[in-house]
Structure formats: C-alpha cells, structure tokens
Amino acid sequence: MSTTQTSKADGKLALSPEPQTSRDLVTLAPAFKRNEGIELTAQLFESVEVNLSAVIRRASTLTTRRSVKKQWQAAWLIKAIGIIDLTTLAGDDTPGRVKRLCAKAKNPLRTDLLEAIGLKPGSVTTGAICVYPTMVATAVDALKGTNIPVASVATGFPAGLTPLAQRLAEVKYAVAKGANEIDMVITRAHVLGGNWRALYDEVSAIRKACGEAHLKVILATGDLKTLTNVYKASMVSMMAGGDFIKTSTGMEGVNATLPVSLTMVRAIRDYHDATGLKVGFKPAGGVKTAKDALAWLILMKEELGRDWLEPELFRIGASSLLGDIERQIEHYVTGRYSASYRHAMG
C-alpha cells in the first residue's frame, strides 16, 4: 500500500486512502503478529562475525546513491513525523513540559503548513511520546482521546545497573500508570562477557513484566565495543521476546549510527527469515536533522521493505528532529528557510 502520493493537479501531498489521523495509517497497514520470542538458539548467532569494513562501505552508499527532492522529500518527511517517539528524558522534566510535548505530538505541524500541502489538521501526529515512569500518568492524561501511545524508559535507565527486582517493579509501575510501551536497557556486562543466557533471561523476565505493553530493548550499542557484539545482542534480545530493538539510550558517547543500525536491521532480517516473526527497530540519540531521518527511512526500505516504514515496526527516538523537519516542510511550501524559533516545541 502506498500511503503517500503527489497530486499532479496542484502539487500538493495527499494520503491515499485518506485517513482521519496519521495513526490510522497503522490500521491500514498489514497486521503484524507480536514477537513472542523463541528458545535461546545459539546456532543462529554463535558463529557470526561482522565484517566492519563491509558494513561501513554498505552504510556509506545509503545516502549517496539517491536523493529525494521536492514533493517526494516532503512526503517522506511527513512519513518520518509519524514514526518519531517524541522524547523528554531530562532531570528537570516537569508535568508542564510533558503536557507541552504531548500538545506538540498531537499537532506537530502548523495548520497553515498542513493546509498548504493538502492535509487536514489532526491528520499527522508523532508515533509516540517517551517519558520517565513518573511522567507516564501526566502523558496519558494529556493524550486522552488520541491513539498516540505513551512509551516509558525503565529498568534503571540509562545504566540499567539496579537490582533486577527493582527494575521489574519499575516496569510494572509504568504499565500500571498507563504506559503502552516500555524501553528497557540491558546489562551491558552480559554482552561484554558473552553471557547470552543471562541476557536472554533478563529480557524474558522484563518482557513478562510488561504484560500487554510492547517491549523495546535498548542495546546501548556505543558500550558494546564491536558490531559482532551488537549483532549477537540483537538476536538474543529478539529471541527473548523484544518487540523492538533500539540502538541507544541517547546518553552513551556514541549513539545511533548507520553502520550499527545496518547491523541491527540485518539481525532483524535474519530473525524473520528463521522464525517468520517481525521485530521493530528504533534508532535513538544523534538523529537530529531531516536529512538524518531520510537516511534511516532509506535504510529500512532497502534492507527490510515497505512493512518496516510503519510505526508498528519503526520508530526514531528524538527530541529536536521534529523542529528541523518542520523547517524543511516550510521551505517546501514557501521556498524560504525560517528561523528555528518560529516552530514551537514542547
């Protein structure tokens, strides 16, 4: 199904078939069976060694072999808005800040820009809001009446080094407050020590604590040292029932990069080939510009296919990305770049 097309008559963007909200794009997409996980199967990852040079070479071609311009770029950027997990994870977060962020999630583009490209007010929203557990109830209340899910980081974010019982309690607390999705962090020591059973058991326990809430497993790839570790951690996390695998907390020295992302999406592809189960992907940390968003959309389309362009299977964790996308949309409409302060953030 093509969700975005260009009207030849007036050059405006149109969604076909036209949904009432961007979340309706999810219901129009094929239904995906949730990843229930499988038994830990070392044969699927134990002998894998990732060729760093080959990964870097392949990743470098993603942004050089093609360019997306004019109305097609605007259409891709509208798609990008619908997969953003609009995030605030600051020590000075307040209910007021979360409410403002939720207001932005519901109306990420100014009405005049939506109308100029042929979209109705309310037809575009972000993919989700992501907050700390203590802010979940505030976000749920602010998003009442919408289909925008609330995601919450948990399990001792960002280090993940609190005792397992406390991490499980934190997950259950966030779910009880209304979180639809949990972004957990793994114990990096399990990966660095090659203790795959411990990693599997950890993710499995947290998956169980999530109940009906979907689980995104944060690998903190900047701490894992090698792409081989990234691949193996990805596979084990999916086997344990992760609905998404996610690159980073956004607080490591190195966060989302295209080579790391390519390694993870290849693991997703291999897992799907082995099990028939589809797992989502979320890059987070350092994805700040519209150009960045286009690169990751191209990665998903080329490596995994059209199904992975929907928010059920692809998210981008970001706080400043939306502002740059809105600037690019205004440039498409007016031919001029605006100052960033013209676009309200949460």
> What is the residue-level pLDDT of the chain in tens, covering all 346 positions?
333 444 433 444 543 333 334 344 333 344 568 999 999 999 999 999 999 999 999 999 998 887 888 899 999 999 999 999 999 999 999 999 999 999 999 999 999 999 999 999 889 999 999 999 999 999 999 999 999 999 999 999 999 999 999 999 999 999 999 999 999 999 999 999 999 999 999 999 999 999 999 999 999 999 999 999 999 999 999 999 999 999 999 999 899 999 999 999 999 999 999 999 999 999 999 999 999 999 999 999 999 999 999 999 999 999 889 999 999 999 999 988 777 767 666 4
CB atoms within 10 A of CB 27: 11
Query: Which region holds residue 303: left if phi is over 0, alpha if psi is between -120 and 50, else beta?
Result: alpha
* Cα separation, 170 vs 12, whole angstroms: 46
Q: What is the CATH number of the domain that holds 42?
A: 3.20.20.70
Of 79, 232, 246, 278, which residue is the catalytic one?
246
Structure tokens at 212: 């009906």
Of 79, 104, 106, 183, which residue is the catalytic one?
183
CB atoms within 10 A of CB 176: 12
Write down the pLDDT at residue 23. Answer: 41
33 is catalytic: no
Write down the pLDDT at residue 149. Answer: 97
Number of domains in the chain: 1
Write down the pLDDT at residue 337. Answer: 79
* Cα separation, 92 vs 72, whole angstroms: 39
Write down the pLDDT at residue 194. Answer: 97
In which residue are the tokens 């191209």 written?
298
Structure tokens at 193: 């020590």
The answer to whether the beta carbons of residues 187 and 149 sit under 8 Å apart is: no
246 is catalytic: yes
The answer to whether the beta carbons of residues 62 and 51 sit under 8 Å apart is: no
Write down the pLDDT at residue 37. Answer: 96
Of 216, 282, 292, 324, which residue is the catalytic one?
282
Beta bridge partners of 284: 317
Beta bridge partners of 152: 131, 182
Give 30's DSSP letter.
Answer: P
Domain that holds residue 229: 4-342
* Cα separation, 110 vs 344, whole angstroms: 9
Write down the pLDDT at residue 15. Answer: 38
Structure tokens at 177: 């407050």
* Cα separation, 144 vs 271, whole angstroms: 36
Comparing CA positions, the residue from 137, 141, 173 lying closest to residue 157 is 173
Task: State yes or no: cis peptide before 311, omega within 30 of 0.
Answer: no
Long-range contacts at 131-136 (CB < 8 A, ≥ 24 apart): 131/87, 131/88, 131/89, 131/93, 131/98, 131/101, 132/89, 132/93, 132/157, 133/170, 133/173, 133/174, 133/177, 133/179, 135/88, 135/93, 135/95, 135/98, 136/174, 136/177, 136/178, 136/179
Write down the pLDDT at residue 18. Answer: 36
